[in-house]
Homo-oligomer: A and B are copies of this chain.
Amino acid sequence: MNEPELIERLRERVGLPRTAGVVLGIGDDCAIVRPRGSREDWLYTTDMSIEGTHFLRETHGAADVGWKALARGLSDIAAMGGEARFCLLSLAVASWVDARWLDGFYGGLLALAERAERAGVALIGGDLARTERVMCDIVVAGTVPRGKALRRDGARSGDAIYVSGALGGSALGLAAGRGKAWVRHKRPQPRLALGRFLRARLGATAAIDLSDGLSLDLHRLCTASRLRAEIAAPPVYRGATLEQALHGGEDYELLFTAPLRVRVPDAFEGLALTRIGTMRRGTAGAVEMNGEPLPPLGYDHLRHL
Contact = CB atoms under 8 A, between A and B. Distances in A.
Interface of A: 1, 3, 6-7, 10, 13-14, 17-22, 24-28, 30-31, 33, 35-40, 42, 44-48, 50, 52-54, 85-86, 88-90, 92-93, 97-99, 102, 106, 110, 119-133, 135, 137, 139, 141, 143, 301-302, 305
Nearest to A29: B125
Number of identical protomers: 2
A135 B125 contact: no
B128 A17 contact: no
A110 B14 contact: yes
A44 B92 contact: no
A47 B35 CA distance: 23
Contacts of A143: 35
Contacts of A128: 3, 6-7, 301-302
23 contacts: A7-B128, A10-B106, A10-B123, A17-B123, A18-B122, A19-B86, A19-B122, A25-B122, A28-B125, A33-B86, A33-B141, A35-B42, A36-B40, A37-B40, A38-B38, A46-B90, A46-B125, A46-B137, A46-B139, A48-B127, A52-B132, A127-B137, A130-B301
Main SS at interface, chain A:
mixed
A246 to B, nearest CB: 22
Nearest to A99: B1
Top 9 closest pairs, chain A to chain B, by CB: A17-B122, A137-B137, A31-B125, A31-B124, A19-B122, A25-B124, A90-B137, A48-B129, A46-B90
